[in-house]
Copies of this chain bind each other. A is one copy, B any other.
Amino acid sequence: MGKNILIGLSGGPSVAINASLAGIISAAKLAMTEKGAIEKIYGAKNGVDGVLNRNIIDLEPYSDEKSLKLLEQTPAMALGSCRKKLSEEDFPKIAEIFEEYGIGIFCYIGGNDSMDTVLKLDRYFKSQDIKINVIGVPKTIDNDLPVTDHTPGYGSAAKYIYVTMSEIIRDSAIYPVKSVTIVEVMGRDSGWLTLAAGLPRFLGGKAPHIIALPEAPFDEKAFIKRVNKLLTTENYVICAVSEGVRTSAGDYVGQGTKSGAVDTFGHTYLSGVGKYLEGLVAREIGCKVRSVELNVMQRCSSHLASKTDIKEAVMVGAKAVEAALLGRTGVMMVLTRSDKKPYSCSVSTTDVSNVALKAKDVPPSWIDVETRAAQDAILEYLLPLIKGEPYPLRDETGLPIFLVIE
């Protein structure tokens, strides 16, 4: 067993992934200097793709305090990403390359699909009696990983959506003509992010008037009827709609207008339910209508990160190194919320088979967001996660600065 650690990043970006990377590097550096438990800190460019291509770099030059602080506030994925699904013949190749680099710990930061990679790699290593600790570090803005209370990246995305939604509501309120604004929020299968779009209303406002989650079937006729009814009393109607809303038959709304392309994990590429509903409102109601797609800004707006989210992302990364050094493997790091107030979370592990390729939906009792009970439960869950300003380091022009790993 080697004494080197390798880190890889996989799946879609968020503003907290690099914070977890910084946490791993920081804890590995500590283990290196204090106990000699780790000798080298490697990073794989573009996840397992980079491992297979031996695109592996030394991360020690980025392990000073200043670099780690910058890494924490850098959005996206400083080591790049991949969406590779490993095939059977990849495993022995990876084992060979790991041996070549003396890898004893492999930390893989990612979502459901990446945890499947962690699971398979760990099983392969065990089957071959190879002693490598494989640890999954959760991240996804979608918040759809089971077991963990929430995923690093979700809080910051939720904060972006909430703040931007509040601003869009002010923007939509200015004209004395009736208008409809459709805001399309990410979330292919679960409505966690769309819940965040509802915060301005749950906290006492009128808007968004309609909140549509993928967990509840979407009926176009009922939607138009409801918008029409709202327009009799409201000057502007705001709708927060998940990109993944489906009809009762299970088809994505407006699917006919979409590309139908699928990614390597078989997920359909989505875009345009906002534009689709904009067209529907224009045809069926004929009032002023606009759609806004929050798009990649939901996952890359580090300037609006949640301090809580970034802190937890760092902590989860650091604890992953500790878990590996304690001999854990085939596990994913998990955030567990304390029952006590004020809010706090502890970090532990779960067998990665509890997580891989599984999804966590919004709880059934929260799906009808029109009920006060659901709104209160959502507020209690969500508000602590978006809390705190990280006030990022800025350059002389006053703009946030990033760390770029070449």
Contact = CB atoms under 8 A, between A and B. Distances in A.
Contacts of A171: 13, 75-76, 296, 299-300
Chain A interface residue count: which class?
Answer: 35 or more
Interface in A258-310: 275, 290, 292-293, 295-297, 299-304
A348 interface: no
A337 to B, nearest CB: 17
A389 interface: yes
A176 B296 contact: no
Nearest to A9: B174
Interface stretch (A96-104, A116-124, A142-150, A397-405): A397-405
A21 interface: no
A49 B397 CA distance: 41
B163 A399 contact: yes
> Number of copies of this chain in the oligomer?
2
Interface string A362-406: 000000000000000000000100111101001001111010000
Nearest to A402: B170
A74 interface: yes
A28 interface: no
In the complex, which of the residues A302, A303, A386 has the most CB atoms of chain B within 10 Å of its own CB atom?
A303
A328 B10 CA distance: 63
A238 to B, nearest CB: 12
A40 B296 CA distance: 47
Contacts of A303: 163, 167, 303-304
A82 interface: yes
Interface in A170-202: 170-176
A336 interface: no
Interface in A133-177: 162-164, 166-168, 170-176
B175 A80 contact: yes
Contact of A164 (B176, B301, B391): B301
A66 B301 CA distance: 29
Given A13-B171, A171-B299, 15 more contacts: A13-B174, A76-B167, A76-B173, A80-B174, A82-B175, A82-B176, A166-B402, A167-B301, A167-B302, A168-B296, A171-B296, A292-B297, A293-B293, A293-B295, A386-B399
